[in-house]
Amino acid sequence: MPLRFTNTLTRQLEEFRPLDPTGKTVKLYTCGPTVYNYAHIGNLRAYIFEDLLQRQLEASGYAVERVMNLTDVDDKTIRGSREAHVALGEFTAPFKKAFFEDLDTLRIRRAQSYPAATDAAQIARMIDMIAQLVARGHAYQAEDKSVYFRIASFPNYGRLAHLNLDELRPSGRVRSDDYEKENIGDFALWKAWDEADGAVGWDSPWGRGRPGWHIECSAMATGLLGEQIDIHCGGVDNIFPHHEAEIAQTEAITGKPFVRLWMHCAHLMVDGQKMSKSLGNFYTLRDILAKGFTGREVRYALLRVNYSLPLNFTLEGLATDARESLRRIDEWLARLNDHARTATASEPHPLAEQRRFEEALDDDLNISGALGELFKIIRESNAALDAGALAPAHARRLLAWWARINAVLALEPETVALPTEVQQLLEQRAAARAAKRWADGDALRDAIAALGWTVKDTKDGQKATRLAAAG
Ligand code: AMP
Ligand code: ZN
């Protein structure tokens, strides 16, 4: 079945076709973090949705070329660096590092590139784009020395957000003491330096200043992926004005449709409100890991609801639903692995119900439907195992299927490195058993258990697994 996604631009479910005439490569741009703090798990929901999208595209045979920006200069990062009395780069560096650690903890695949707004090449590109916009009459420098995009010059402005922007259309020049823009909706492309910016600033044809947030993404997307890209994502709060502005700036220069498919994920909610730093109702991933949850559990909790629906977050849901669902997957995999050992061959073809998992994901990333199919198969194959009615070859086939769907889910059990002490005791135990010193072997098994590991003797030798953590 072809992939279908809901396009924010048309509000329609559309069959996906890449721009690449060979049909192989998909260009994906995803708005990244503003690195003035640790990401909260609402931000991380957006990144997990984008990860699911990338993995599903790859599982469907596409090569994904992906760029994600790091917003490392804006009001918040500048304020943070002033308050901490350090240079901007010094202030943002630990948050950039923490962002990548969070990605790894949540098993989010890396983009090919993470350009930062302060990279010299990116600043140069932004200045170049702004100059082109000014030259074509799409932008102007106001009395405050900042440069603004003239939304009246771009008739499609408002199309993505489906907003009635009549009130933003010019009805003569808007002026007041503190207002120098031609139109209330005109947004900053270049912000003139002021005292609060301290040492932060770059020289430009319009004087010292810094780029606006919107031009950052237009410059990075077109600079690294080209004038036209397949898919652009973010959270729904990015639709307006950020993505609307990106379209206006980019298309005013290129004259071509910038993005074919816009996808936005609904918010992570807490008690009916958007999780956000400004409301103070947020958890960082670190907060949650400190409560004893794993990255895998958080991944599951953020993944399991369809991206287009708001997801209400509770710690209780994480402790019950996510933990319990993963435990069921783990037990099922352990049983299948045991059972498949005696299989001589795997049955080759996937079952119809297995294909339903993939079909659900093809249908606008319907992950809750796909997980429903997975748990149905788990229930049925567990029942068949209980009844002694599951052929070992079938168990092997289910494991092969799991490996395939897990390339999209990334929910495999945590692998924990064997501690050296346990490794040494295992070696001593192997030697004891080889010499038929069974009592020593048993004592060593107890010593290993005291370190939190169990040993099983299999035909391939000893197998140590970590005892389930309490809680
Ligand atoms: P920011 O660091 O604020 O620029 O946001 C980074 C990404 O997280 C953007 O794609 C936002 O749309 C997204 N985002 C922010 N808050 C939430 C939330 N509560 N739920 C889902 N996504 C969010
Ligand atoms: Zn962006």
Ligand 1 mean position, distance from CA 242 (Å): 12
Pocket test for ligand 1, best of 71, 237, 284 (most atoms within 8 A of CB): 237
Q: Read off φ and ψ for residue 227, nearest 5 degrees.
A: -70, -25
Residue 305: per-residue pLDDT: 98
For ion ligand 2, residues whose CB falls within 5 Å: 31, 217
**Per-residue CA distances from 10 to 3, 7, 19, 26, 57 (Å):** 17, 6, 17, 20, 21
Residue of 311, 352, 309 lying closest to 1 (CA atoms): 352
Calpha distance 73→122 (Å, rounded) = 12
Tell me, using a 6 A CB cutoff, whether residue 268 lines ligand 1. yes
Cβ proximity of 168 and 129 under 8 Å: no
Q: Rounded to two decimals, what is the model's pTM? A: 0.89
SS3 of 309, please?
A: coil
Residue 342: per-residue pLDDT: 85
Nearest CA to ligand 1 atom 11: 235
Q: Tens digit of pLDDT per residue, the chain (471 long)?
A: 799 999 999 999 999 999 999 999 999 999 999 999 999 999 999 999 999 999 999 999 999 999 999 999 999 999 999 999 999 999 999 999 999 999 999 999 999 999 999 999 999 999 999 999 999 999 999 999 999 999 999 999 999 999 877 655 554 444 444 468 999 999 999 999 999 999 999 999 999 999 999 999 999 999 999 999 999 999 999 999 999 999 999 999 999 999 999 999 999 999 889 999 889 999 999 999 999 999 999 999 999 999 999 999 999 999 999 999 999 999 999 999 999 998 877 666 667 777 899 999 999 999 999 999 999 999 999 999 999 999 999 999 999 999 999 999 999 998 777 888 999 999 999 999 999 999 999 999 999 999 888 898 877 788 887 775 433
Give 241's DSSP letter: I
Q: Which two tokens stand for residue 142?
A: 């106001």
Calpha distance 441→430 (Å, rounded) = 8
Peptide bond into 241 cis (omega under 30): yes
Residue 469: per-residue pLDDT: 47
Q: Which two tokens stand for residue 269?
A: 């909610």
Nearest CA to ligand 1 atom 17: 42
